[in-house]
Structure 1
Amino acid sequence: MRRLVLIDGHAIIHRAYHAYPALTTPSGEPSQAAYGFVAILLRVTNELQPSHLIVCFDLPVATFRHEAYIAYQAHRPTTAPDLVNQIEMVKEVVEVSGIPVYTAAGFEADDVIGTLAKQAVKSEQVNGASEGLDEVVIVTGDRDIMQLVNDKKGVSVYAPINGMSNARLVHENEVKEYVGVTPDKIVDYKALIGDSSDNYPGVPGIGPKAAQNLLEKFGSLEEIYRKLEEGKGKLDSVAESVTAKLLAGKDSAFLSQHLARIATHAPVGLDLERAEIKDLSKNKHFLQKLKELGFKSLVVRIGGMVSEAKPKKEKKENNQMELL
């Protein structure tokens, strides 16, 4: 199977940073986030067996969402200095690995992933096949990206669960279990309930249950407001208190819908030849970089993926490997 794996770099780094106990390089630099990222990278290549692999990162600049809503993500704390350093550490590791990195000014990594996924599985292709690809798997801990899951087009999400200790492939049937609605309704669901993490309001007073009921009954945000207009401010079988909130929050709902929707028009182009999977066990620069960082058990693990040799136990790192 020809499978493209798209890794959400910042999402995995942040998850590893909070999931792993403190770890430092031989020179004393914090490194648990970098260690966790590489561990996930190795697990992904081993378990998913991709034919193509890409890592996508955010850029430290404003995006179209910040331009649309000045308070977007405004309440997020400044990134800890040791995490900033580890993000750069991961980028150096990815660079020497030969895995291509994609970014786009004015867009988030989610948008870059959405654009690449769209290019990889064009809608006109039978069974989701495009350019010889059979499947696209997105590796992330961000549930918002589950709006891209599409069984017909062969797009799924590989989501870490229980910190970093486990992961599962999420298809359309499982998305509702995670988010509460099907992939095609996630954007409108977020438009109604808002997002405290990204700091946009949705419709004040509308919670998850009410949003689920509204979308189940009317199908989309546009249809909810069309029916409201037809009913002159009333909706069949919907409490007046709910319709009042919808009417008062209409502008906020459509702004939130815009912010929630992953863009699929970022200025990037999928280069499948460049993304062909590399044999990391033969990449001397990559292995040397891991040794410099003190990730000896990961070096052993890379060899084990090829030779099936038993890895040597290293007390400090072995305890962390149990998280995987």
Structure 2
Amino acid sequence: MAKNNKTLVLLDSHAIIHRAYHALPEFLSSRGEPTGALYGLSSMLMKIITDLKPDYIVACYDLPQKTFRHEAYDQYKAGRAKTDDALILQLKNSRQIFDAFGVPTYDALGFEADDVLGTIVEKLREDKNINIIIASGDMDTMQLIDGKKVQVYTLKKGINDTILYDEDKVFERFGFKPKLLPDYKGLRGDPSDNIIGIKGIGEKTATNLIVNFGTIEEIYKQLRIKNYELQFKKLGISDRVIQLLKDNEEEALFSKTLAKIRIDAPVNFNLPKKTFWENADLKKVENIFSLFEFRSLFARLKSFWNNGQKSNLAEFTRVLGSPAQDSLKEQAQPDQLANSLNPISEEKLKETSIALWLVNSDITNPSLEDILHYAN
């Protein structure tokens, strides 16, 4: 990542909350409401902010209505058990957690959270000043990874064991680039979403085909070339697999379509005007923790908040020490300083700048006029 780039963290909210729900024991408030997934979400959110130090955070949601994938294939995700009422309630209440942390939420009717994530990534793909980290509880979003511009921070086990994937790590794991993951699923299928792929083609064969041919479309292009058998057999692809490919072209291409994240969801996305810490309000978080009775998280919240504010202040001071400090010097008129009975030292300027920012966080790059006005 470029050194001075801003970092946007996109949260796959549904996946994270779902993981937290199944990873933690059931907690009940004194009102009898389930809160375990909300506790896990709050804990995970603080960990994500601590680990990734984002400038901006945005949460993306699934909606309960059916999506375009269900319309195209009525068996999409059909194998999944009915969502527990306790999880449904916590999914609804989770938006209160994000609101307390000052994290905006996005969703789109007829689309999944992954499509909302993909659309936001696409909107920012050409922005050289923003790097993106997608925080998710599953692997579906890995197809969006792009070099180190777009990475995926995902859970390995529970809610504390995490890994950060960039393009190199995806290649190391699968043997091909992230953009080919929908093709891989198109061949192998994805039981968790009930995407059928080609029955009889497993992980090893699918990997072999993708590594050597790339896309599903290219595989079928090669199958139509004269004497194609020689090329396929040279790669260790059996007659049985060749026949499976021939018999299931439509299924493979359709499965790829289902697996591919859309980048055209109707999302009116805007990067937040303030960074996370500029917008952070400890009192709001304390209030929501009190509401859900997260007593054991209060000590951690205090430490998290203090460390985060210190880190943010250190970053602000670093910025003041370079371009911003230079701008203060440039803005100072000669007669303002020369005629002063007590010339202002650079150190005092810096201290006053920080004090002004603490009083009014909207003023992140104060001019000399701002400082003098504040001092008076």
TM-score, structure 1 as length reference: 0.87
Gaps of 5+ in 1: 309-324
Deviation at 1:98, TM superposition (A): 2.4
What is the correspondence of 1:227-306 to structure 2 with a 5 Å cutoff?
227-231=222-226, 234=229, 236=231, 237=233, 238-274=237-273, 276-278=275-277, 282-306=281-305
- Counterpart among 128, 131, 136 of residue 132 in structure 2: 136
Listed one character per residue, the Cα deviations across residues 119-153 of structure 1 (whole Å, up to 9, x for unaligned) are 1222xx5xxx1xx32x100000211110111115x
Bigger relative CO (Cα 8 Å, ≥ 6 apart): 1
Query: How many angstroms apart in 1 are the aligned matches of 2:150 and 2:201?
Result: 30
Query: How many angstroms apart in 1 are the aligned matches of 2:104 and 2:274?
Result: 6
Amino acid at match of 1:143: M
Listed one character per residue, the Cα deviations across residues 193-244 of structure 1 (whole Å, up to 9, x for unaligned) are 1111111211111111111111122122111101111237746223211110
Gaps of 5+ in 2: 308-376
What is the correspondence of 1:1-324 to structure 2 with a 5 Å cutoff?
1-122=5-126, 129=128, 132-133=129-130, 135-151=131-147, 154-179=149-174, 181-231=176-226, 234=229, 236=231, 237=233, 238-274=237-273, 276-278=275-277, 282-307=281-306
Q: 1:258 to 1:165 in 2, by over 3 A?
A: same
Query: How many angstroms apart in 2 are the aligned matches of 1:52 and 1:307?
Result: 18
Structure with greater helix share of residues: 2
Query: How many angstroms apart in 2 are the aligned matches of 1:178 and 1:16?
Result: 25
**Contact map agreement 1:5 1:139 (CA 8 A) in 2:** yes
Deviation at 1:180, TM superposition (A): 5.7
Deviates more, 1:227-236 or 1:186-195: 227-236
Q: Secondary structure of the equivalent of 2:191?
A: coil
Deviation at 1:306, TM superposition (A): 3.5
TM-score, structure 2 as length reference: 0.75
- Identity over aligned residues, as a percent? 38
Q: 1:20 to 1:279 in 2, by over 3 A?
A: farther
Q: 1:188 to 1:76 in 2, by over 3 A?
A: same
Deviates more, 1:103-112 or 1:195-204: 195-204
Q: 1:306 to 1:162 in 2, by over 3 A?
A: same
**Contact map agreement 1:143 1:179 (CA 8 A) in 2:** no
Deviation at 1:273, TM superposition (A): 2.8
Equivalenced residues, count: 300
Deviation at 1:37, TM superposition (A): 0.5
Deviates more, 1:10-19 or 1:170-179: 170-179
Higher Rg:
2
